[in-house]
Amino acid sequence: MKLYEVAERFAVWLVAVIVLSLLLIPIVVIVLTSLTPNSFPTIPRDGISFQWYGEMLSNAGLMRALVTSFVVAAVAAVLAGIIGTVTAFGFVRSDIPYREELATFMLLPLMISPVITGLALIQFAARFELSSGYPSLILGHTILTLPYVFLIVRSRLVTFDEELEAASRILGANGLETVFNVTLPIISPTVISAMVIAFVVSFGEFTATQFLISPDTTTVPVIIYTMLRAGLSPEISALSTVLIAIMVIGAVISGALSR
């Protein structure tokens, strides 16, 4: 191997290590400070303690926020999965005019600031007398996560081998039977992966969510922000670590399903 090739490979690895370090060090610090035995978030030096996880579990407000986030994220992921998959089928399998232009509109929740989306949703909810809390949160999170499902499923359908569907029709199946017996079983890992990503995005959504919550339906990101206004605490680090773990698990599941 020539010297310049060695130098090039070393430079690539060095940049990769630096970038990964910048991404991971803040997360590692949060995890470590959640294990401190002190009453303020510091990196433990004289042993670790899980007392702040116990404090978190005994905090009724935090547990209620976790349940709210799970319920909202799960329902929003399912709704976004169904709507996004059906919409992706419509865009890929039909010859609607201005298809690409309309697809761009499907991505507006990704391009518009979440603050604007939150304001629009709260005005929509007020106009149609939709109560705050679960109804508004589920509607808002479904809209915010729908583009992710649409993009992922659409990309899978674009590369789908349509000869398999043609063979199904030749053997006597109609269009609906072909979709349910051939297409959906093949793309189901992609659909589930997209729903997992939607769940993760919903679980960590903060900016638009703060406009949609009610006193009894506060989500984890919002309650973390509320607690931060009173000062840093190892309990916040413990709750943040739980949030990180949920997102990492979701990312791993999504990656495994994609492969």
Q: What is the pLDDT of residue 147?
A: 92
Of 168-172, 218-222, 250-254, 255-259, where does mean pLDDT reach its minimum? Answer: 255-259
Identify whether 35 is part of a domain: no
* 252: containing domain: 59-258
* Residues 77-94 pLDDT 10s: 999 999 999 998 888 877
Residue 137 lies inside a defined structural domain of this protein: yes
Span 113-138, average pLDDT: 83
Place of tokens 């059906």: 86
Which tens digits make up the pLDDT trace of 205-225?
A: 888 888 888 878 888 888 888
Q: Give 154 or 251, the one with higher predicted confidence.
A: 154
Q: Is the pLDDT higher at 5 or at 228? A: 228
Give the mean pLDDT of 103-116: 83
**219 close to 68: Cβ distance less than 8 angstroms:** yes
- Structural domain includes residue 251: yes
* Residue 23 located in a structural domain: no
The residue-averaged pLDDT of 116-143 equals 84
Which residues neighbour 64 within 8 Å (Cβ) at sequence distance 6 or greater?
A: 216, 218
Per-residue pLDDT band for 2 (boundaries 50, 70, 90) equals low
Domains held by the chain: number? 1
CB-based burial, 100-119: b 16+ in 10 Å, e otherwise:
eeebeebeebeeeebeebbe
Instruction: Tell me the CATH number at 152.
Output: 1.10.3720.10
**Nearest Cα to Cα of residue 219 among 55, 30, 64, 113:** 64
Cβ pair 235, 227 in contact under 8 A: yes
**Residue range 196-206: average pLDDT?**
90
The answer to whether residue 176 scores a pLDDT higher than 70 is: yes
Distance CA 21, CA 142 (A): 33
Average pLDDT of 42-48?
A: 79
pLDDT at 112 over 90: no
User: Which of the listed ranges 25-34, 126-135, 227-236 does the model predict with the highest average pLDDT?
Assistant: 25-34
42-46, 67-71, 120-124, 202-206: which range is least confident on average?
A: 42-46
Buried b (16+ CB within 10 A) or exposed e, 221-259: bbbbeebeeeeebbbbbbbbbbbeebeeebeebbeebee
Q: Mean pLDDT over residues 220-249, rounded? A: 83
The mean pLDDT of the chain is 84
Contact 137, 213 (CB under 8 A): yes
Helix (H, G, I), strand (E, B) or coil at 214: strand
Is the pLDDT at 130 greater than 80, yes or no?
no
Q: Is the pLDDT of residue 1 over 60?
A: no
Angstrom distance (rounded) from CA 202 to CA 211: 14
The per-residue pLDDT for 141 is: 92
Q: Is residue 40 part of a domain?
A: no
Q: Can you state the percent helix, strand and coil of the chain, rounding each to 5?
A: 75, 0, 20
Q: Which residue has the tokens 């589920």?
A: 138
Q: At what angle do helices 3-33 and 234-258 cross, to 10 degrees?
A: 130
Using the predicted structure, report yes or no on whether residue 129 has a pLDDT greater than 70: yes
- Measured CA to CA, the distance from residue 201 to residue 77 in angstroms comes to 9
Q: Per the domain annotation, does 128 fall within a domain?
A: yes
